[in-house]
Amino acid sequence: MKTLFNGQIVEKDEVAISFEDRGYHFGDGLYEAVRIYAGKMFMFSEHFDRLERGAEKIHLGLPFTKSELGKMLEDLIEATEVQNGLVYFQISRGIVSPRQHLIPEKGSVTPVYLGYTLPFERPVVLQQTGQRATVIPDMRWLHCDIKSLSLMGNLLSLDEAVKKDYDDALLERDGVFTEASASNAWFVIDGVIYTHPDGNLILPGITKQHLLQLAKENNLIVIEEAVKVSQLADIDECFVTNSIYEIVPIVSIDGQAIGDGKPGPLTQQLLALYIASTID
């Protein structure tokens, strides 16, 4: 398996990361997962911009430009011959010895980064049937806008949902829905589409950004406003979005059917628009 490691494409077993790497010790780093369609990255520029914003917030100097990283990932995709799937990329602050909590000065440590591809096709069955979700308190930190390597809050939320025999968790903070365990959440009430506004409580999703634009271009009404958990009975449609699964309907929440318990018309319309936008 070909892998990108610190600027070079090598075999997977040639990748060696020190146990003193801060990514291993603290989850001190960032990641992005970029969708691949027909052998090309989708919205790479937007993914890089988010990576760059996150790096600035955690005082991490990126050792490459947008064009340099883009070229490395394009070469990796070509080397692995992936036509449809994703390219995963992560960067840690690097090696600091001995272990210490204090963040080193920017530029004093060499970051460590890697990337790999994963082939897969669009999850058509999942998009047609949807998922069952449960509401779980959002116990994550207050910098959810940073795509951090540390995902323990997200992992525990999904783990709790699955152990309760649900497919995903819809996270709730102060009485409103924030997002799902690994995706942005959307709700349709009386023909209006709602999604939580960007800020420190959610990840500014690339798919969310793209879908907002598609909705605007097609004269759909979208309001970036949090939906209250107390409005559950009023929700006609619900779906979640991320770069990997695109758009996945939520057909029930805590056992209560959303609409008629099937993917709703606006959800299906947005999915069709999204799929069309990925085709050159």
DSSP letter for 12, please: G
Strand partners, 194: 187, 223
Cα(229)–Cα(224) distance, rounded to whole angstroms?
16
Closest CA to 243 of 277, 199, 218: 277
Dmax (CA) for the chain in angstroms is 58
Residue of 40, 147, 216, 228 marked active site: 147
Please, are residues 253 and 239 in contact by the beta-carbon 8 Å criterion? no
Please, are residues 120 and 85 in contact by the beta-carbon 8 Å criterion? yes
Is 164 one of the annotated active-site residues of the chain?
no
Residue 257: Cβ within 10 Å count: 11
Cα(30)–Cα(214) distance, rounded to whole angstroms?
28
Cα(212)–Cα(147) distance, rounded to whole angstroms?
20
Retrieve residue 179's tokens: 């997002």
H-run or E-run covering 250: strand 246-253
Cα(152)–Cα(165) distance, rounded to whole angstroms?
20
State the Cα angle at 193 between 192 and 194, rounded to 5°: 115
Q: List the catalytic residues.
A: 147
